[in-house]
Structure 1
């Protein structure tokens, strides 16, 4: 399954257009997923439920999890025909049911190319069209300045800081919160 706005053209510093596609994961993605996810720098920017080292069994478990989604919320990020990362919508419950959290990561070789921003914009459009929600949000570990730029370029607004809210690799870090309303 492909989302209806599969391609987005963005100008990079080279003025070369880049095609980004979001699609469902499939069996062929297991090995490439394992290869790009098995990176300590990626692990350092994500919650601890994202394993390191990242094994083929981890990739298989993740694929099985995405296959069980009632409505597609997790997508492979594809650039130039290659799996380069993952982006997901995480439904919320109870009084937060009109909000969804967005999470994403890219393989290190693909950082700084505008891919994450394009993917984030695309999943936001998908969320507004396919879910009865009013708000998207995410949080970023304070030291992850690149992800802060991605959120801001995609139109998210800085909403606040959870001081020392994250405990990662034996240290406390601030958590920066970003949100985007449907009518922003």
Structure 2
């Protein structure tokens, strides 16, 4: 599959909103908005992202919009996050997209967070050079409970 990143277009947002409301994907991601179905909050979030110093990208697989990848936050504390449509899980798309994002944004260090039991996301991050540096216990809206979270970073 040919995986590419491009700037986010307004026409991508309905796709991202649909992806964010997949119950299985929400459970896996765990750390999500309190109410992912709140379209006004979703739109406000993306308006802030698109007008900030963040680096949001749309993930394309063979030309189809399949997710997003973003570098966000303050310099020295910036994090990566990504979301791939569940229909495309297990095909190497998240790994390819994150690698491209890391090439595009050479700034280091970069951080990432994942639910400790999200083996797929942890695998993606490790393949891209991230290393686990901390563990925490945090409230996960999508699960309605505190769960273990891993904090990772990449230096180069």
Q: Calculate the TM-score normalised by the size of structure 2.
A: 0.85
User: d(CA) in 1 for partners of 2:35 and 2:6?
Assistant: 23
CA RMSD between the two structures: 2.1
Equivalent residue for 1:14?
Answer: none
| 1:33-52 alignment, distance < 5 Å | 33-44=16-27, 45-49=29-33, 51-52=35-36
Higher RCO (CA-CA < 8 Å; seq separation 6+): 2
Max Rg structure: 1
Per the normalisation by structure 1, the TM-score is 0.73
Please state whether the residue corresponding to 1:48 is helix, strand or coil: coil
Q: Among residues 56, 80, 93, which one is paired with 2:62 in the alignment?
A: 80
- Residues 29-77 of structure 1 show CA distances to partners (whole Å, capped at 9, x for unaligned) of 233223322212222214232643364x5554344233312x4511111
Partner residue in 2 for 1:123? 101
Match of 1:172 in 2: 146
Maintained 8 Å contact 1:34/1:58: no
- Shift >4 Å, 4+ stretches: none
Q: Look up the match of 1:6.
A: none
Name the residue aligned to 2:114. Answer: 140
Unaligned runs of 5+ in 1: 1-17
Q: Count residues in correspondence.
A: 153
